[in-house]
Chains A and B, each alone.
Chain A
């Protein structure tokens, strides 16, 4: 839609057809004393060139990834994004289509979603994926609700090693639905949940047990421990996974997950100061698939036998059987999901594996280098993937401020999550050895 200013002539014509003389006459129902009788306190309009200059000045105050080297992760990651993605998703057919409300007429959009779902299924080892959700945290909350509906139980078991902000989102979704939450403590020495943590839960009431892989501290959980209690108690196993880690780890399908969710930002989506992102959601089995929230695109044939795409299993959705809907989500993050699909296609099986391998190698290289600094230690012994926690008698907020002057965005200080002296670093394939070495040397100079 274009923005076309009205001419005086057009305005007059419109007012005439409404039977009023001037625009103010349209607001006579608002009492005089309630009206603002002065102009709004706004600056004068700017010409295009002035406007561009003004906003460029404002934008230059942002510290972005073009001007900084970032070791910040904790849910949003600085992975390399092939520039082809921007050009492909920028096509009008994709950019303007949004979620398919008149779906079958937009076969191209449906096909792109179908391809996305196929890639998510291959990545997770599950049978069916939906068309995507808002983000990883809300996808996890929906998974918990789905588990409650499928098992008719009202207890959700979360690990204390789950991202604390994801935990808050899940709690927000569940508290209004009379679902209780129980927490599995993690072992202070390893940083992951072990079999001992499973003892104090009333498993017969549990709808699901959640495991985040890798967990908030970047550590690899022993999924078998979670699978065992799920199997024994009839609770569903919900895995919240980082998609990049699936390039190296066994798929959740192989590990016996019932529902798999995660945040897809890592897959070709910019960090964008925190969003927008996409959540992926996949499950397995005819019964669970029918309880899956969100839209699903299916492949079919028309009356002539030609392949086509449709929204399928729509009776789970609120616009068909509102009272029976599995969720109130009736949208998806189509463009972000498309970026994820293009990313996975461009990387290919080998390239994607290489991303995971480089994350693992570079993160562990940096961890070793940091541990060479006197006074720094690693509080957790479990193996880590792309993120790791470092501990020391250091004011990490202060360190971050000082190193920002050198163009570095440091790790996330965990003090706000009740762990003073600890910091969470993230190292992706986008970091170079030089960047890591420079950061470590600057940090050594600052705290030694």
Chain B
């Protein structure tokens, strides 16, 4: 499944399902943040602009924003995270997904990295 994921330089991943994009953070990102204790989720129906903060992850170290890699409307949030924020640590690429955004028009994922490219990118970080 992780073969289908596309990664950003901000260590977020995207899973394209038609015009809906599921967003989460990478294993590297969750490891850097440490134990996540709270996820501040947006509301379904919110509109977001590319580059805007859509969620905030509160770890024992810091609070970090999750930036939306696309513009569109929030169509789902992972409500499991309200009671179990640790899912972001335990299963960052699957059960720890954060939001789903319905994009305006066609999702542009051309300049995103696939898994191999992201792993190569991490070696340079």
Instruction: Determine if A290 and B43 form an interchain contact, defined as CB atoms under 8 angstroms apart.
Output: no
Instruction: Determine if B82 and A315 form an interchain contact, defined as CB atoms under 8 angstroms apart.
Output: no
Instruction: Determine if A287 and B63 form an interchain contact, defined as CB atoms under 8 angstroms apart.
Output: no
Interface residues on B, range: 10 to 19
Q: How many cross-chain pairs have Cβ atoms below 8 Å apart between A and B?
A: 18
From DSSP, what is the main secondary structure of chain B's interface residues?
strand
Expressed in whole angstroms, the Cα–Cα distance for A320 and B56 within the complex equals 14
Expressed in whole angstroms, the Cα–Cα distance for A192 and B56 within the complex equals 42
Contacts of B58 in A (CB 8 A): 290, 315
Instruction: Determine if B43 and A315 form an interchain contact, defined as CB atoms under 8 angstroms apart.
Output: no
Shortest distance between the CB of B63 and any CB in chain A (Å): 4
Instruction: Determine if B56 and A287 form an interchain contact, defined as CB atoms under 8 angstroms apart.
Output: no
Whether, in the assembled complex, B118 has its beta carbon less than 8 Å from a beta carbon of chain A, the answer is: no
- Over the window 39-55 of chain B, the binary record of Cβ atoms lying under 8 Å from chain A Cβ atoms (1 yes, 0 no) is 01001001000000100
Expressed in whole angstroms, the Cα–Cα distance for A324 and B65 within the complex equals 10
- Over the window 275-293 of chain A, the binary record of Cβ atoms lying under 8 Å from chain B Cβ atoms (1 yes, 0 no) is 0000000000011001000
Instruction: Determine if A152 and B43 form an interchain contact, defined as CB atoms under 8 angstroms apart.
Output: yes
Contacts of A54 in B (CB 8 A): none
Shortest distance between the CB of B42 and any CB in chain A (Å): 9
Whether, in the assembled complex, A322 has its beta carbon less than 8 Å from a beta carbon of chain B, the answer is: no
Q: Pick the residue among A290, A320, A321, A324 that contacts B38 (CB under 8 A).
A: A290
Contacts of B40 in A (CB 8 A): 287, 290
Closest 5 CB pairs of A and B: A315-B63, A152-B43, A286-B38, A290-B38, A321-B63
Residues of B bordering A, CB below 8 Å:
38, 40, 43, 46, 53, 56, 58, 62-63, 65, 82
Q: Please name 13 further chain A to chain B contacts, defined as beta carbons within 8 Å, in addition to the given A287-B82, A290-B40, sorted by A numbering.
A: A152-B46, A287-B40, A290-B38, A290-B58, A315-B58, A315-B62, A315-B63, A320-B63, A321-B63, A324-B53, A324-B56, A324-B63, A324-B65
